[in-house]
Amino acid sequence: MIESVKKIVEPLARRVSLLVSRCSLNLINDSTQTQTAQAEFYEQEVHDDAEVWQQFGFTSMPPKGSEGIALFLGGERQNPLIISTEYKES
């Protein structure tokens, strides 16, 4: 019985664990209607056109090397939405 429940729950648990991720921003493009960035998540996982969402009425351009928090809707590791950024000066 427990194995049957695990078999059903494991794919859902995996998708939930993939919903939110940290990233590093490399290249920022501010020339489009919605700002985009090249974001690096895990080793070998780079997204070139990740949307950077900003609060209404505020706009900024994070410097190269900024960190971000991204959402992956549905737990699918495509089309990240970066909802927050921070630059930690060294």
Distance of CA 71 to the CA centre of its chain: 5
The confidence score (pLDDT) of residue 28 equals: 94
pLDDT in tens, 17-68: 889 999 999 999 999 888 999 999 987 899 999 999 988 888 889 999 999 9
Confidence of residue 81 (pLDDT cuts 50, 70, 90): very high
Got the DSSP string for 68-85? EEEE-GGG-SSS-EEEEE
Q: In 10 A of CB 18, how many CB atoms?
A: 13
pLDDT value at 90 more than 80: no
CA proximity to 47, closest of 59, 38, 55, 57 = 38
pLDDT for the residue numbered 36: 95
